Amino acid sequence: MSSLENLQSQKYISLETYKKNNQPIRTPVWFVIQNDLIYVITRIKTGKVKRIKNNPHVKLAPCTFKGKPTGEWVEGNTSKVSGQESEKAIKLRKKKYGFMTNIAQFASRGKGDLVVFSIKLE
């Protein structure tokens, strides 16, 4: 079974991004999978966006709500996406997480506009 297949049934992944000094920072995030890519939707003013801009290389693993890894770590590279691709990812997230998406978007609205990243596993 591939890494993507293993993640398909998961609710959260721990996303490891890196500071300029290469210190790893792990954040539990929601995600969706489409066309062999993992999509993460976040806000433009979050730390992970800043870290991804500095270094697009990430690691990720399935995890609990609190971020405790529950599976193997895999490596990947991120790309910011826009247009129809980002709209599709946002719709898929709403379908997967339901009304919790609205609550999360409302709670995080002070951190700027939504931004969508795709992750291609290595």
The domain total for the chain is 1
Per-residue confidence band for 101, with pLDDT thresholds at 50, 70 and 90: confident
Ramachandran region, residue 83 (left: φ > 0; alpha: ψ -120 to 50; beta: rest): left
Average pLDDT over residues 16-20: 97
Q: What CATH number does the domain containing 23 carry? A: 2.30.110.10
Per-residue confidence band for 28, with pLDDT thresholds at 50, 70 and 90: very high
C-beta separation of 103 from 92 below 8 A: no
Which residues 6+ apart lie within 8 Å of 60 measured at CB? 13, 14, 15, 16, 38, 73, 74, 76, 119
What phi and psi, each to the nearest 5 degrees, are found at residue 70?
-120, 5
In the block, tokens 């801009």 appear at 53
Q: List 45's β-bridge partners, or say none.
A: none
Ramachandran region, residue 35 (left: φ > 0; alpha: ψ -120 to 50; beta: rest): left
Average pLDDT over residues 83-101: 92
In this structure, what token pair is assigned to residue 65?
Answer: 């709500």
Instruction: Please report the pLDDT score of residue 1 as a whole number.
Output: 55
Instruction: Please report the pLDDT score of residue 35 as a whole number.
Output: 93
Average pLDDT over residues 56-84: 96
| C-alpha span between 72 and 3 (Å, rounded) | 9
Q: What is the pTM of this model?
A: 0.93
